[in-house]
Amino acid sequence: MIGKSEVMQQLKQRVRAAARISGSVLVTGETGSGKELVARSLHFLSHRAQRPFLALNCAAISPSLVEPTLFGYTRGAFTGATSTRAGYFEDARDGTLFLDEIGELPLEMQAKLLRVLENGEYQRVGETASQLSHARVIAASNRDLRQEVRQGRFRADLYHRLSVLTLAVPALRDMGRDRLVLLEHFRALYAAQARVAPFTLDAAAERAWLAYPFPGNVRELRNIVIRLTTKHAGKAVSLAELEPEFDMETRAEGAPERDLATEAQRDLERGGFSLDQTLKAWERAYVEAALRMTRGNMSQAAKLLGVNRTTLYSRIGSEMVEMPGGSTTGDASPGPQGAASLPPRRK
């Protein structure tokens, strides 16, 4: 955990204190702020440091695969279950299980998770015998779970069980000159990995760096450093070279609004217009863009698009959507009676 600002020093103190106490922890903060890093720090500062640390993004898997992924399954429990496999709770043993994006768990699974947190008991899918887990659960969310409880999307009893210890990770915009501390860290790291000289920022670029709010937090800062290392190794980066790396929406603030009615009129005047085809093309473009921006994370893509995750799955349907790096994704609608793919395995 890198940073010298007051808010970061306070967080480090709270992490050290929480590491000495057993029990579940809720880590809150914006996307990209480093919630998993806080979870790993909690683990390695605790007496469980030599035990397994497993991380699962609850938003990255189909809702129907959450239960077998967490609790495991027996052979024949559902189509595709050709052997018995342990779940994350079993593999974590008496170590730490980090559940990122906990707010994405279906309500049914929230009840089963609550049972594990209360008495350590769970059952593999397709099995009646109870298993016992001694893993410490650290959950994280970029949502306001209290608001989710009020709106009926998150169980109040689970929230209270998780939030006995709560750690709030600050946004990068609140960390002052830590922007430069993190710049120095990542710049040295990626320059060493690439075996090139690190870039520098001229005075104007450094002022812009300190003024930029980094809406994507530390993750965005790191990605910008990687791009600058690739493009400008060993050089002094100017303001003109730095600005294109900043978030487009932030840089576009104050730009004149598009006159969509005028643009539509021009399209209609050209003739041969099809509203259905145009709407489908726009929908596909936005879905592809959202999936690329989130590296295939269906939950985060749904948030960008302003729809819930199940709606996004239904919009995609069986259509394959191109992903970054040339891969594809789509909703295969897996489930206990028709699993298209088995739960991901740990490396």
| pLDDT given at position 135 | 92
pTM above 0.75, yes or no: no
Q: Which structure tokens are listed for 111?
A: 């009840």
| pLDDT given at position 219 | 93
User: Which domains occur in the chain, in start order?
Assistant: 6-170 (3.40.50.300), 174-251 (1.10.8.60), 272-328 (1.10.10.60)
Nearest-angstrom CA–CA distance, 20 and 11: 15
The rounded average pLDDT for each run of 10 residues, N- to C-terminus, in the chain (347 residues) is 92 95 92 94 95 92 87 81 86 93 91 91 85 92 92 93 93 93 95 94 94 93 94 93 79 44 62 74 78 79 81 67 44 38 47
Tally the residues of the chain.
Answer: 347
The answer to whether the CB of 76 falls within 8 A of the CB of 125 is no
Task: Identify the three-state secondary structure at position 10.
Answer: helix
At CB < 8 A and 24+ separation, what contacts does 203-209 make?
204/238, 204/239, 205/237, 205/238, 205/239, 205/241, 205/242, 206/180, 208/239, 208/242, 208/243, 208/246, 209/179, 209/180, 209/183, 209/242
Geometric angle at alpha carbon 43, from 222 and 5, rounded to 5°: 45
